[in-house]
């Protein structure tokens, strides 16, 4: 199909498609003539993923990294996860005290030295930020966080598709990038429900 | 203290403090003379909170909203939560299909019509984004998300400080804004640990 049809089919404006082509997020179409290229189902699918990542707040650099993982997937499932996290997670500053982060990782059942260093640093950065604001997560709340996140991760892993490497990569990469906004939105509503249960009839009823 | 001392004490550059003053994130100091203002412990504490919010990725507009809630707190705990969420959550587009979001809210034990409309829309937006990418959260995983988030919210609510309205507001507002990056970072590591357990010795060991 021509770029105009690709635009109609996906709802993405032609100018935006051209931008993604220039940024190499989308592979070139097949040359049909000197001035025309032909696009296929691959482009439709790929545009859907790009738009979803952008909607989820992933920047162009992050989208490019996600696409690179999807195009050239690592062979080990563990490395797929590392690539997915590296593509989506914001870089953490270095020089942080990693002890408190390491203690949380041990409580999650892991060993800090076996985790991706960037992700250990991300926990340390988040803890340092809380500390700077003089905010302490109450111990019982931290325990609830760790328990909840451990069960969620176990369920995610158990549901990883096994039929092909491509399916597994897609699941892990998009499950990391696109599910984060859903979890944060669900968390806010879960807090509202808990508050409404505790405080009885509210101003919204 | 003078602005230079405030800078030394907090590690925030004088130019940045002046920017926060211009943006009204920080209240003016007491006029000591025509050209000098005196700053106190309130400013030190406030700067710590502002820096933490900025570190956590909250934009200046969001910081201003958080400060407005801290300065003029709603009287009902439920409205404090709404104000906190409104300050931190990105605005969700309108015109979304809210049925699927409503069904998830019911599974969390709530009634969609009793929840803040913006947060219902945020769930709907996240679901639409997943849909656009052709990504489906497996049913068992969604159940794990809902169970995990419900326990976390219950623990957070049980630990809300009761000694003063100010303490409760601070806990809810900062617990919403600053804990999100911690949860996302912990989730990534929990996924790594689950993957390592399942796939045995990995490339990082």
Would you state the pLDDT for residue B139?
96
Question: CB–CB of A193/B108 below 8 Å?
Answer: yes
pTM: 0.82
Q: Which residue of A has its CA nearest to B158?
A: A141
> In which element (H, E) is residue B111 found?
none
A/B interface, count of CB pairs below 8 Å = 322
CA distances from A202 to A74, A135, B121, B156, B166 (A): 51, 27, 20, 19, 20
Confidence of residue A199 (pLDDT cuts 50, 70, 90): low
Confidence check: pLDDT of A205 > 50: no
Question: Which of residues A201 and A130 earns the better pLDDT score?
Answer: A130
Per-residue tokens: A89: 């997670």
Percent of chain A with pLDDT over 70: 96
- Cβ separation A186–B151 shorter than 8 A: no
CA distances from B162 to B47, B154, B166, B168, B170 (A): 25, 15, 9, 6, 11
Tell how strand B37-38 and strand B30-31 pair up: antiparallel
Taking CB atoms and an 8 Å cutoff, what residues of chain B touch A63? Answer: none
Model pLDDT for residues B96-134, shown as the tens digit of each residue: 889 999 999 999 999 998 888 888 999 999 999 898 888
- Cβ separation A48–B144 shorter than 8 A: no
Residues in chain B predicted with pLDDT less than 70, given as ranges, are 199-205
Q: How high does pLDDT run on average in chain B?
A: 86
Question: Which of residues B3 and A71 earns the better pLDDT score?
Answer: B3
Model pLDDT for residues A77-117, shown as the tens digit of each residue: 777 778 778 777 777 777 888 999 999 999 999 999 888 88
Would you state the pLDDT for residue B6?
95
Question: CB–CB of B160/A86 below 8 Å?
Answer: no
Per-residue tokens: A10: 């996906």
ipTM of this model? Answer: 0.82
Confidence of residue A200 (pLDDT cuts 50, 70, 90): low
Would you state the pLDDT for residue B203?
46
Residues A189-195, mean pLDDT to the nearest whole number:
88
**Residue B27 carries which DSSP code?**
P
Would you state the pLDDT for residue B75?
74
Query: Cα–Cα distance between A163 and A107 in angstroms, integer?
Result: 33
The residues spanned by each domain of chain A are 1-55, 76-199
Q: How high does pLDDT run on average in chain A?
A: 86
Q: Is A107 on the interface with B (CB under 8 A)?
A: no
Task: Name residue B38's beta-bridge partners.
Answer: B30
Taking CB atoms and an 8 Å cutoff, what residues of chain A touch B145? Answer: 152, 155, 182-183, 186
Would you state the pLDDT for residue B149?
97
**Architecture of the A1-55 domain:** Orthogonal Bundle (1.10)
Would you state the pLDDT for residue B186?
95
Residues A26-33, mean pLDDT to the nearest whole number:
87
List, as one string, the DSSP characters of chain A.
Answer: --HHHHHHHHT--HHHHHHHHHTTSSPPPEESSSS-EE--HHHHHHHHHHHHHHHTT--HHHHHHHHHHHHS--SSHHHHHHHHHHHHSPPPPSS---HHHHHHHHHTT--GGGS-HHHHHHHHHHHHHHHHTT----HHHHHHHHHHHHHHHHHHHHT---S-HHHHHHHHHHHHHTHHHHHHHHHHHHHHHHHHHHH-S-TT-
Which range of A33-42, A118-127, B72-81 scores highest in mean pLDDT? It is A118-127
CA angle A69, A57, A97 (to 5 degrees): 75
Would you state the pLDDT for residue A57?
77
């Amino acid at each position: 199909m021509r770029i105009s049809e690709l635009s109609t089919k996906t709802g993405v404006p032609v100018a935006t498609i051209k931008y993604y082509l220039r940024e190499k997020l989308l592979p070139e179409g097949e040359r049909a003539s000197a001035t025309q290229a032909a696009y296929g189902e691959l482009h439709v699918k790929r545009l859907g993923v790009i738009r979803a990542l952008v909607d989820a707040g992933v920047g162009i650099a992050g989208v490019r990294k996600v696409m690179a993982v999807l195009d050239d997937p690592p062979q080990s499932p563990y490395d797929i996860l590392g690539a997915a996290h590296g593509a989506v997670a914001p870089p953490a500053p270095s020089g942080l005290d990693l002890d408190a982060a390491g203690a949380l990782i041990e409580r999650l059942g892991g060993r800090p030295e076996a985790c991706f260093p960037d992700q250990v640093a991300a926990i340390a950065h988040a803890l340092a930020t809380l500390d700077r604001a003089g905010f302490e997560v109450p111990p019982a709340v931290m325990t609830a966080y760790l328990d909840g996140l451990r069960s969620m991760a176990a369920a995610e892993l158990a549901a990883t598709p096994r039929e092909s490497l491509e399916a597994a990569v897609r699941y892990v990469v998009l499950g990391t990038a696109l599910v984060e906004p859903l979890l944060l939105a669900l968390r806010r509503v879960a807090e509202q429900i808990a508050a409404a249960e505790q405080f009885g009839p509210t101003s919204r009823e």
